[in-house]
Amino acid sequence: MPFSLLRLSPALVRAAHELGFITPTPIQAQAIPVVLRGADLLGSAQTGSGKTAAFALPLLQRLGQGPQHTPRRVRALVLVPTRELAAQVGEVIRSLAQHLPQPPKVAVVFGGVSINPQMMGLRGGADIVVATPGRLLDLIEHNALRLAGVEMLVLDEADRLLDLGFAEELNRVLWLLPPRRQNLFFSATFPPAVQALAQGMLREPVRIEVAAVPANEPAIAQRAIRVDDKRRTELLRHLIKESGWERVLVFVATRYAAEHVAWKLYKNGVFATPFHGDLSQGARKQVLQEFKDGQWDVVVTTDLASRGLDIAQLPVVVNYDLPRSAVDYVHRIGRTGRAGESGLAVTFVTAQAEAHFRLIEKRQNLSLPREQVPGFEPQEEPPEGAPGAGGVKGKRPSKKDKLRAKDLSLRA
């Protein structure tokens, strides 16, 4: 079914085609008619499913149907967890809007950079604002924008917003919105806190669920390789060389590890560079562009930086360190196999990490055979009676989780 059958305006269909979107993905085919008729939406969709265009296209069409206002007022608000995602969503909306007779003004605002240019950018108002919650509230406090005229609210990656400790900011934003509005709620997972948020926000929502790996999308092949802790970098180099991997995103647990692993690879002839929250916004942008341009073979990153990275043709993701939670595992492997591409996710499982990975598998209904690579057979035994090696993050955040969330929210 082509996009034109979804009752989208020719200007939007043309812009979608120019982005290479010829056939709607399953979430787009289901969500677009629902949003066009003004209903609330509860979308359960993984990253990479095409959900940005699923809300952006009908949102643009609906805003185009309303009266134009001068000065502009914010009519649609899109809340996202990270600056990378904010920038990316803003870009997609602008591209999709480019052929509209009166393209809306789209403002993208996020923390971690100076507030002044964003305040200048909001002069004269904006029709659509894409924002991380903390910076949005700062701008409201500075009287740079008002939310009283919002007709449509999109919460993108709601689970991640809560994971990053944005619950309080979200509630404050919700208070500032007019009660009569259309709500579009997207999340990859639905732990109780996300369900409660959805319930409090949505009015008789239409539920749309897209299977974790939609049948008509190529599956992400998942592999688990047992290896000793100290030999992981060497194994990574071996796999890159033997398998001819060209663009690899490697996940580690800390910023220090990102620097360390990237440097060890680089020293040994692999073009690798770190990507994490300590880098300036400019440096992050540059690394991303260079990775997209094929200048780096490997980018070594942390979970914080991983969200919203949309790199077409990212064939391989490696979990060098395990993710803390099953949710993070899903998001990490979702970096590969983006719409229309096939992908491979490889997880290194050390003896110490075995119990933790088993918990992640259990949460994901997964059971991956443990592979061994010749020459890298593990020598280490799992520690005696090892429990969950810290455990997968449960429903109640620990003190450490809260501190981490606070740290992340300051950065977002």
Among 13, 21, 252, 284, contact with ligand AMP (rule: CB under 6 A):
21
Shortest approach of ligand AMP to residue 24 CB, angstroms? 5
Q: Per DSSP, which regions of 215-374 are E strands?
A: 220-226, 248-251, 272-275, 298-301, 316-319, 343-349, 370-371
Q: Is the CB of residue 370 less than 8 Å from the CB of residue 245?
A: no
State in angstroms the smallest separation of the CB of 51 from ligand AMP: 5
User: Which residue, 28 or 189, has its beta carbon nearer to ligand AMP?
Assistant: 28
Q: How far is the CB of 151 from ligand AMP (least distance, A)?
A: 22
CA 131 to CA 114: how far, in whole Å?
Answer: 14
Question: Nearer Cβ to ligand AMP, position 231 or 338?
Answer: 338
Q: How many residues bind ligand AMP (CB under 6 A)?
A: 18
Q: Given candidates 8, 26, 43, 48, which one binds ligand AMP under the rule CB under 6 A?
A: 48
Instruction: State in angstroms the smallest separation of the CB of 223 from ligand AMP.
Output: 23
| Backbone conformation region of residue 370, classed left if phi is above 0, alpha if psi is from -120 to 50, else beta | beta
Q: Report yes or no: 333 and 318 within 8 Å, Cβ to Cβ.
A: no
Q: Compute φ and ψ for 112, nearest 5 degrees.
A: 90, -5
Instruction: Tell me the closest approach of the beta carbon of residue 28 to ligand AMP, in angstroms.
Output: 6
Residue from the set 8, 30, 40, 51 that interacts with ligand AMP by CB under 6 A: 51
CB closer to ligand AMP, 24 vs 134:
24
Single-letter residue type at 125: G
| Region near ligand AMP per CB under 6 A, out of 49-57, 163-171, 248-256, 324-332 | 49-57
Q: Which is nearer to ligand AMP, 249 or 272 (CB)?
A: 249
- Interface pick for ligand AMP out of 28, 222, 306, 350 (rule CB under 6 A): 28
Cα(182)–Cα(129) distance, integer angstroms: 15
Residue with smaller CB distance to ligand AMP, 80 or 174: 80
Part in contact with ligand AMP (CB under 6 A); list of ranges 17-25, 234-242, 323-331, 380-388:
17-25
Distant-in-sequence, close-in-space partners of 42: CB < 8 Å, separation ≥ 6 = 185, 198, 202, 205, 206, 207, 208
* Region near ligand AMP per CB under 6 A, out of 44-52, 108-116, 130-138, 294-302: 44-52
d(C-alpha 42, C-alpha 185), whole Å? 5
C-beta separation of 43 from 84 below 8 A: no
The answer to whether residue 52 forms part of the interface with ligand AMP (CB under 6 A) is: yes
Is residue 133 part of the contact set for ligand AMP (CB under 6 A)? no
160 binds ligand AMP (CB under 6 A): no
Cβ at position 153, least distance to ligand AMP in Å: 18
Whether residue 350 contacts residue 229, with contact meaning beta carbons closer than 8 Å, is answered with yes
Q: Is 10 near ligand AMP (CB under 6 A)?
A: no
DSSP conformational letter for 29: H
- 42, β-bridge pairs: 185, 207
Of 167-196, binders to ligand AMP (CB under 6 A) are none
CA distance to 50, 136, 307, per residue, from 187 (Å): 13, 20, 13
Q: Does 343 bind ligand AMP (CB under 6 A)?
A: no
227: phi then psi, degrees, rounded to nearest 5: -155, 150
Binding flags for ligand AMP, 312-341, as an x/- string (CB under 6 A): x-------------------------xxx-
First to last CA, the chain: 38
| Region of 50-58, 119-127, 264-272, 385-393 interacting with ligand AMP (CB under 6 A) | 50-58
Could you give phi then psi for residue 45, rounded to 5 degrees? -145, 140
Residues forming the site for ligand AMP (CB under 6 A): 20-21, 23-25, 28, 47-53, 310, 312, 338-340
